[in-house]
Amino acid sequence: MSLRRATAQDSAFAYQVKKTTLGDYVRQVWGWDEDEQHRLHERRFASQDFQIIVVSGVDAGVLALEYRPDCLRVNQLLLLPEYQDRGIGTACMRQVINDAAGRRLPVRLQALKANHRAAEFYRRLGFRDAGTDDIHIKLERPADGSRPAAVRPEQTGLPAARRGPIRLDRVPAEPYPDLASVLHELVTSVQNLLDGNLVGVYLVGSLATGDFDLDSDVDFLVVTEDDIADEAAPTLQAMHGRIHGLGCYPAEHLEGSYISRAVLNRAETVGVQPLWYVDNGSTVLERSTHDNRWHVRWVLRERGIALVGPEAVTLLAPVPPEAVRREVLGMIRQIAQDFGAALADPLSYWTSRFGQSYAVLTYCRMLQTLETGTVQSKLSGMKWALRELDPGWAGLIEQAWTEREGVRYCLKIRQRAAESALAQTHEFIKYAVRESETHFARWKTNDARPAR
């Protein structure tokens, strides 16, 4: 995301953005008079500092500022619908807030009472109600830069953190411009809370294996010297609740675990010892073996991105391919049982539109792992399956990839998949189980041959 100064040629675009995003609210309050709205826009466009919000080279919205002696006033922050809920507005406002802080000015604005989403958005960024009139809610962020508890590093009484350098150069700017700032918030908060117990914070999942997209979650792993004590869990949970409350997609879709260096390097704990874990979309810290797996260790060591701390390759020995393969084979068998048992349910995880597509794509990835001994992205697994598996499954695999799009809206998890898709997926799983046994037997035979 970037900002560029608007020119006279941008006036028509700015007006169209206003009409698209605010038109319904204006109609509710005053009614929409096209001529009057044009005159009002032209007067404001000439007198205010209009900037165009640009995302991946495309004009996405408008930011209009007014620099006054007593405040920095935000008159418009408008994004076309297809660019909303992606952290772009938050990124814009962070720039405005930083600008105002450098000038020691408060930021002031007003939102239509009818536009409840706008007021809540600004409150999450630290704005406070500063009055109302018949039509507007007035909001202000103080000049001293203070933030409400929702976004302020917590005062826990723990020692101040050792400040290692935070490395965000490998964090992608698209499709969520706010991702880097959310990760910075996560790392600094973990540094504050864990202090000398912190070894490092690492990105795993699709951010590490590649192909992070609009529907990906943000997978992380925090490595510590010692296990997190039970009494420390509530402060960590409060931290995750605070970050989730920032309200942008990356903040609401963090998923990860806390693992000690000792557990990371003890094979007997894999899949057995639960870790402190926060699920995608959740603010609850719970015990789970979700990330205490061989395949997560493989991604951490071979692809993990260190946000702070030493490179992950220095933390653990190479993960044996046979360990990853055996784990994946167990997952293939377990999911086959779970999916078959769920088919009779009116709606369950596996019979939802989300679960059906996830099952197909996960089996593609697992078969790829059995064949290669590596862990790749969903997109890579899908492409591998289209090349390597029976062509008769191509339609189902492509359907699953298409169905995955938009799962971020959390609607498909509440909708039962089409019966034809569920039946075909069940048959594909049976096929995948047979293929996995063949792959595994071939791998064991090759592994048992003496070297020449």
Does residue 335 fall inside a structural domain? yes
Angle at 44 between CA 40 and CA 45, to 5 degrees: 115
* Alpha carbon distance 156, 112 (integer Å): 38
Residue 122 resides in a domain: yes
**Whether the predicted pLDDT of 330 surpasses 90:** yes
193 and 299 together in one domain:
yes
* Token pair for 289: 């073996």
Domain closes at, from 277, 299, 314: 314
Cα 88 to Cα 173: distance, rounded to the nearest angstrom? 10
Phi first, then psi, for residue 351 (nearest 5°) are -95, 0
Q: Which residue has the higher pLDDT, 446 or 254?
A: 254
Between residues 446 and 264, the one the model is more confident about = 264
Phi, psi of 365, deg, nearest 5: -65, -40
pLDDT at 126: 87
Mean pLDDT, residues 137-153: 59
- Residues 347-375 pLDDT 10s: 999 999 999 999 999 999 999 999 999 99
Exposure string over 417-430, b if 16+ CB within 10 A, otherwise e: beeebbebbbebbe
Percent of the chain topping pLDDT 70: 93
CATH number of the structural domain spanning residue 100: 3.40.630.30
Q: For residue 139, give the 3-state DSSP assignment.
A: strand
pLDDT for residue 158:
30
Residue 73 and residue 84: Cα distance in Å, rounded?
22
pLDDT of residue 446: 63
Q: How many residues appear in the chain? A: 452
What pLDDT is stored for residue 98 in this prediction?
82
Tell me if the bond preceding 274 is cis, omega within 30° of 0. Answer: no
Residue 123 has pLDDT above 70, yes or no: yes
User: Does residue 168 form part of some domain?
Assistant: no
**What distance in Å separates the CA atoms of residue 398 and residue 360, rounded to the nearest whole number?**
10
CA distance 137 to 57: 34
Number of domains in the chain: 3
Q: Other C-beta atoms within 10 Å of 238: how many? A: 17
What distance in Å separates the CA atoms of residue 117 and residue 8, rounded to the nearest whole number?
30
Confidence tier at 438 by pLDDT (50, 70, 90): confident
Average confidence (pLDDT) over 3-32? 91
Residue 103 has pLDDT above 50, yes or no: yes
Whether the Cβ atoms of residue 60 and residue 83 lie closer than 8 Å to each other: yes
* Among 314, 336, 368, residue at a domain's last position: 314
Among the ranges given (10-19, 84-93, 228-237), the one the predictor scored with the smallest mean pLDDT: 84-93
- The reply to whether 79 falls in a domain is yes
Task: Answer whether 75's CB lies under 8 Å from 109's CB.
Answer: yes
Please provide the average confidence, as pLDDT, over all residues in the chain. Answer: 90
- Of 297, 314, 331, the residue that ends a domain is 314
Domain that holds residue 19: 2-141
Half-sphere exposure of 336 (CA within 13 A, CB side): 18
Q: What is the pLDDT of residues 23-77, one digit of tens each?
A: 898 888 888 899 999 999 998 888 888 999 998 889 999 999 988 888 999 999 9
Model pTM? 0.67
Q: What is the pLDDT of residue 162?
A: 45
With 80 as the cut, is the pLDDT of residue 451 above it?
no
pLDDT of residue 154: 35
207-221 average pLDDT score: 96
Instruction: Decide if 382 contacts 397 (C-beta within 8 A).
Output: yes
DSSP state letters, 271-301: TTS-EEEE-TT---EEEE-TT-SHHHHHHHH
Give me the pLDDT at residue 409, please.
87
Range with the poorest average pLDDT among 116-130, 195-209, 246-260, 394-408: 116-130
pLDDT digits (tens, 9 = 90+) for 225-277: 999 999 999 999 999 999 999 989 999 999 999 999 999 999 999 999 999 99
Could you tell me if 69 and 194 lie in one domain? no
Question: Does pLDDT of 151 surpass 60?
Answer: no
- The answer on 13 and 137 residing in a single domain is yes
